[in-house]
Structure 1
Amino acid sequence: MQKTKEWHVLAAVIAAGIMCFSGVLIETSMNVTFPALMEEFNVNANGVQWVTTGYLLAIAIIVPLSAYFIRNFSARTLFIVSNILFFMGIIMDSFAGTLSILLAGRFLQGLGTGIALPLMFHIILTKSPMEKRGVMMGIGTMTTSIAPAIGPTYGGVLMGTLGWRAIFWFLVPLALISFGMGLYAMPQESVERSEKFNLGAFVFLGIGLSSLLLAIEQLSITWFIGSLIALIIFYYLNKQRMLLNLNVFKNSVFDRLLYGVLIYQAMLLTLSFILPSFIQIGLGKTSTVAGLFMFPGAVTGAILGPISGRILDKIGPVKPIIFGLTASTIAMTSLAIAFQWEQIWVFLGLHVLTMIGSGMAINNLMTATLSQLDETLSADGNSVMNTLQQFAGAAATAVAARLFAMGQASDAVHGAMIGGRNGVILLAVLFVIALLLFITTIKLLNQQWRRLTT
């Protein structure tokens, strides 16, 4: 049994959140540098997007192990390992002279973040009282959602003054603060290791996800078939000795709510790629302008995280989620139409509206999704959700890069506009589906909330 009396839950959540914040900060900061990286390393948009995609793929590979890690290792041990991996990655990238070294460092950062992210949500779900769970979830998601608020600005300013490597230099003190706070907040606990690690299932899951991402990025049937074979082998091996409990998918409400979580993740990553790239390449603005453009909307979404969590604690999940999904759907549809005008102020207003919807909906969707599972499936549901979130983000970035590159190839003058618009149109369609799926869960969610609060 794990002890809880020595925990400083808020500090522990913030410490793990700083790790996740740092990872997302680099991710969105580097998106602003893509045009410069393409020139420095002589690669196109499809090549440079692996700076983000490789990081997200590393998270997607390691996160499925989170349920196993949590059952067999203490939170303190996991936190220390995640910090070491992340710190090694940022040091490597601080001095990266080639794209290969840069990608290797990003992969290490992804492994570190992939351990810290589900650990943060596990602490929230198991150490915080039910009546404060919405607020704690809001604080947890705020630490990660505030990073896109300052990431593009942070990256754009450093890119224009000290160069892109400085993006990593300035995160060293933040990593040390996270490490010290985590050691203070998380006590050493005795956890009995009762399971053998299913190495085969882990290897084939990693191969399957990597191959599927390559299939999406390269539009390759060969990679898709390879991915399908690897995932079938994973499914068979996972049944022999469970690495990831896939029974969570038997809950239909969990499945429908999870779709909304994944679409928001795809939206955040897609827009952080499309908009800065279009503003620089299509509108001819500087990296600093592209970074500042993302700031108002992302700050708005980050601030609304804990506020919307408080609303959930008071009135339940339905109203804030339906408001958020509706606002984001309207904004994405309008943004798809507005691309033809190429007016930066119109884009800015619609991005803010999109992020208002995100701030109201995303952390409440996550809370509602995981609340569909009983305690025995909580760690596995957390692991599944975080795995699919990172893969959705990686896949969305790969698709956005492909559409952007295809648009540039189709029209020398307006190619960036065409590619960006096509990516946003796809997102708008996915949001309409997410809104319709959520509507089908409203009655059940209201009934569940009444049971929990009476």
Structure 2
Amino acid sequence: MTNNKKLVGAIIAVGVLSFLGIVIETALNIAFPQLMKQFAVSAKTVQWLTTGYMLVSTIIIPFGSFLRKRYRAIALFRVAVISFLIGTIMAGFTTSFVTLLGGRLLQGIADGIGLPLMFSLILEQAPKEKIGTLMGIGTLVIAFAPAVGPAYGGLILNYLPWQALFILIIPLIIITWLLGERSIVQVKKPVHVPFDFQGGAFLSVFLVSTLWLLLDLTDQQFGLRQIVLLLVAIISCLVFVYCEQKSDHAVIKLALFKSARFDGLLIAFFLLQLISLCLSFLLPNALQTAFAQTTANTSLLILPAAITDAIVAALAGIIYDKTNPRLPIILGVIIICFSFVIANFNTASVSIIVISYVVFMIGLGLSYSNIMTFSLAKLENEESNDGNVIFMTVQSYAGAMGTALAASLLTWGQAQSKDIVYGTLAGLKLSFEVLLLISVIVAVLCLVSLIEVKRK
């Protein structure tokens, strides 16, 4: 085991890159109207600043296990931090939409490398009695960033041009680079593992086609192109599964999916991230459109939930280590259900939105990181990297689906009324109803999976 202080430093260094990427991703949601006007592009085009980032990240993440076995951790970190730094400079100093998009794609590369690397370092180097705490710190990156993004974006855009969203984080990236150079250590010797080109190619086709199809459905389109995309997605998925079963060096270890417990907790993890990203898109838009809040006010209204998430997520790992690890998960998912009960059975208002979002973040902080920790802790040591990669791929894809779901529900509501305010409120009400249903499904999945573990 490596020195605990160095390990914490390594987690922070790698995690900050992913944190900043997600913060910028959600902060840009507020800047989209301004960017559309400046670059004279449509909403569908400007959306690629987020979608492109997610797509690149999601394609790279599944190869995290291969990269971790084949290359030194510090080498992977350097590729990630340099990609992120160059991408941030490109985005912060450009007057071209194409260059801005290119910068976001480079940031996506950093996120695709960084997320699996962070959790791999924890699983590989953390003492067993500290793994819950350190996983809590690591997962805080994923859960906290979507709440911080709109707050950060709202404050900056209220006083500075959108380029400042990128320029202001450049010093932090450089500090993170220096911290990583001092903290990241290698405890296992890299081995020459062959790359599964067939599996990698078909997995990439599957991810691209399904995301493209999802975006088309968000625009409420379904025709010949969507049918072709659906067929491509199905065929590429089937061929990928066939290739992986025959491969000695599979990109993803499909045998892990034979465990009902692993599958149940993975789906719950996916749905929680989907809810989180859905709310990070939905609430800032609703507060500005339906309740006439400025970007600065919106950021301040969302800030309590972000702070709550940070505090609870930090405590959740300690609770996991010191008590029954099932306790924070079960308590967390019950609180999440309660947050949507509050939202659904009260008239929509600024105060109800703020209260329900804070309550949601309490539940998310307790459950989210511990679901992943609990699931991976039940795997054999040699399987933990593969399990980590699966969780990170699912997490990244859930972000794309959550944003698309929020956009679809909000668009549907607005289409029901000629008045944008009433339409937005209708979309908000429908969204809360859908998210309540999803949260109940999450609670059932967690309870069934955890009871099954106890029975064994």
Please classify the TM superposition score into its range, dividing by the shorter chain length. Answer: over 0.9
- Name the TM-score, length of structure 2 as normaliser: 0.92
- Name the TM-score, length of structure 1 as normaliser: 0.92
1:94 deviation in Å? 0.8
What corresponds to 2:143 in structure 1?
145
Q: Whole-Å Cα distance in 1 between the matches of residues 15 and 300 of structure 2?
A: 23
Q: Is the 8 A contact 1:251 1:372 kept in 2?
A: no
Q: Does 1:353 align with 2:351?
A: no
Q: Is the 8 A contact 2:143 2:364 kept in 1?
A: no
What corresponds to 1:411 in structure 2?
417
1:60 deviation in Å? 1.0
Q: Whole-Å Cα distance in 2 between the matches of residues 249 and 157 of structure 1?
A: 43
What corresponds to 1:19 in structure 2?
17
1:44 deviation in Å? 5.4
Q: Is the 8 A contact 2:276 2:402 kept in 1?
A: no
Rate the CA distance shift 1:38–1:141 in 2: closer, same or farther, 3 A.
same
Identity %: 35
Q: Counterpart of 2:72 in structure 1: which amino acid?
A: S
Rate the CA distance shift 1:5–1:361 in 2: closer, same or farther, 3 A.
closer
Q: Whole-Å Cα distance in 2 between the matches of residues 337 and 39 of structure 1?
A: 38
1:74 deviation in Å? 0.9
Q: Whole-Å Cα distance in 1 between the matches of residues 190 and 342 of structure 2?
A: 54
Q: Counterpart of 2:260 in structure 1: which amino acid?
A: S
Structure 2: segments with no counterpart, 5+ residues: 218-225
What's the secondary structure of 1:441's corresponding residue? helix
1:272 to 274, 277, 280: 280
What corresponds to 1:318 in structure 2?
326
What's the secondary structure of 2:195's corresponding residue? coil
Q: Counterpart of 2:386 in structure 1: which amino acid?
A: D
1:189 deviation in Å? 6.5
Tell which deviates more after alignment, 145-154 or 214-223: 145-154
- Provide the alpha-carbon RMSD of the alignment: 2.1
What corresponds to 1:199 in structure 2?
197
Q: Is the 8 A contact 1:148 1:294 kept in 2?
A: no
Q: Is the 8 A contact 1:53 1:397 kept in 2?
A: no
What's the secondary structure of 1:233's corresponding residue? helix
What corresponds to 2:220 in structure 1?
none
Offset from partner CA, 1:233-257 (integer Å, 9 cap, x none):
2223333431211111111101111
Q: Counterpart of 1:263 in structure 2: which amino acid?
A: L
What's the secondary structure of 1:440's corresponding residue? helix
Q: Is the 8 A contact 1:283 1:342 kept in 2?
A: no
For residues 35-434 of structure 1, what are the structure 2 equivalents within 5 Å? 35-43=33-41, 45-187=43-185, 191-219=189-217, 220-241=226-247, 242-338=250-346, 341-413=347-419, 414-434=422-442
Tell which deviates more after alignment, 369-378 or 6-15: 6-15
Rate the CA distance shift 1:227–1:336 in 2: closer, same or farther, 3 A.
farther
1:332 deviation in Å? 2.1
Structure 1: segments with no counterpart, 5+ residues: 449-454
Rate the CA distance shift 1:425–1:225 in 2: closer, same or farther, 3 A.
farther
Q: Counterpart of 2:237 in structure 1: which amino acid?
A: L
1:171 deviation in Å? 1.0
1:72 deviation in Å? 0.6
Q: Is the 8 A contact 1:137 1:306 kept in 2?
A: no
Q: Counterpart of 1:155 in structure 2: which amino acid?
A: G
Q: Whole-Å Cα distance in 1 between the matches of residues 341 and 96 of structure 2?
A: 39
Q: Whole-Å Cα distance in 1 between the matches of residues 281 and 274 of structure 2?
A: 11
Tell which deviates more after alignment, 125-134 or 96-105: 96-105
Tell which deviates more after alignment, 398-407 or 173-182: 398-407
Offset from partner CA, 1:336-391 (integer Å, 9 cap, x none):
444xx341111100110000101111111111121221112110000011001111
Rate the CA distance shift 1:295–1:258 in 2: closer, same or farther, 3 A.
same
Offset from partner CA, 1:276-311 (integer Å, 9 cap, x none):
111112222211122222110121011111211111
Q: Counterpart of 2:285 in structure 1: which amino acid?
A: S
Offset from partner CA, 1:169-224 (integer Å, 9 cap, x none):
01111111111111111136773432221223222212211111121221233322
Offset from partner CA, 1:16-73 (integer Å, 9 cap, x none):
1111211122122112223333443455554443322222222111100000011111
Q: Is the 8 A contact 1:49 1:398 kept in 2?
A: no
Q: Whole-Å Cα distance in 2 between the matches of residues 407 and 39 of structure 1?
A: 24
